[in-house]
Structure 1
Amino acid sequence: MDNYKIKVKDEAESKEAQELFAQLGYELDTFFGNYEPNTKWVLACKDGSMGCASDGMAKETLKELSLPQLRDLVVLKRNDVKDATHEHKQFPEFKYLHTGDNRYAWMVDSKTWEESDCDHAWHVAHTQPVQTATQDQGLISGAEALRALADGKSVEASTEFSPTVWEDAANYSANEFLAEETAETEDYCSMKLFFRLKPQTIKLDLEIPAPFKAKIGGRDDTSFILNVGRHQYLYQNEDDYTKARNALEAVFDAALGGYNS
């Protein structure tokens, strides 16, 4: 343990600091007094003791922290991927923790936060705020999911490692359903599982080149035609047509394959 001190402006901040230090393993010691208006500090000592203190006890040998810095220490000690603040834009299974000027990457094998090798500019360009698995996805318990599967319903599962990627839950065992986590193997650690009934609707949010609608007798042989139901939409060049067609096909293929989100 290390020696720390944190300056507090009121009793509420003092209480929060003490609770945070307790999560780091420090314990209140009767040597320190209770909070009073002149006890402007909370001290934590390397022997594991902590408590309120006045200016005279806040020695220069103690490392001073701010409340946000103390909160960060607690998060790093907890080593929980759920504390991730950001994820990779292209590969959301890669999680990151942004705290002040510090950047940490989640290590899957060791299940710890480690300081990122990438600089600030890289994180700005390649990461985005994390999308949680619990947002508007109708999660159900493992027992409910197992029952639904037995009733012939389509059930999907995702993991804490890839919370935005859904797959057929039938690939998991009954024990994994009930434990709501994957089985640990020699190669992989266990991961938290989330379950939901397969959505019956698809939410579309696409960026595709704008077409123009075909008019009777109004198109020529140089146009590229995209058929959607009873309607035909035209593109002036093959590149725009291909982008639109591929984007729509990808959405429907993903829905049929059980990976839509």
Structure 2
Amino acid sequence: MFRFTTIFLHFLLLSVTEASDVLANNACDTLPYKHTTNGELDDWDPASFDIHELSGIRFATENDKEKLYIAMYIIDQSVQKRIAQAGMQVMIDVKGKKRESTYIEFPVKKDPLSEMPAPDLQAQNQSFTERLAASMLFLKKKGFKDQLQDIEMELAGRASDIMLSFGWDERNVLYIEYEIPLKRIAAVENLVGKEITVGFKLNAQESLPLPPKPVTPIGSFSARLVAVPAGSGPPASRTTSTQNANPAPANKILQPQQLFWMKHVLN
């Protein structure tokens, strides 16, 4: 009887210990996962993404004690092409408002002339994603703490404390990830429990400029034969002046600017 009681108590102790280990492991599993900024988003919870209905862009934000992580993915290829040409900004306002003074612009807005097709055959034979990636080389930073210049331009993906990565999957869905140290936006001790806003701005897309209308050079004139009564003087020449020529029209807006915000509480 004593032996049976001892065995039972030993089994009960093992069961309690194993249950404690399971609870401890489950508690660890609920901690925020440390993201790897590689442009794949396989370490993000799909349920954490919100959607901007007009553009179809899905976006999410998370943070740990040191960094703010922002992720987005874009399914529509026409939207991908638009941001590759017109540029997009991700803005952060630690005041929880909608100020646009601190942002990362990626891709960087380009001159509409750069939208003209490349003449070389190699560029023409590139895939859709290869052509976009070739134009998404730089990012622009403004408003972050400890910047050496008001606006800084750098290569996307270069080694930096503010990191950015992007890529496409086999369905040509574009993924973009941002990794920003909290100390680059404010004193970390002042951010715990604070609500910030993260904004996304798609710049207006412009068309190619229209070619200028041909004009007659200053000093030239057009002449035509006219009937002149006998005894009168020669017909007066008609000089065409370009001083009042209409200026070239401005670029046409194909897509207006789109701007949307989300709230995030830093934990």
- Normalization by structure 1: what TM-score? 0.22
Q: Name which structure has the greater RCO, CA cutoff 8 Å, separation 6+.
A: 2
Q: Which of the pair has more CA radius of gyration? A: 2
- Normalization by structure 2: what TM-score? 0.22
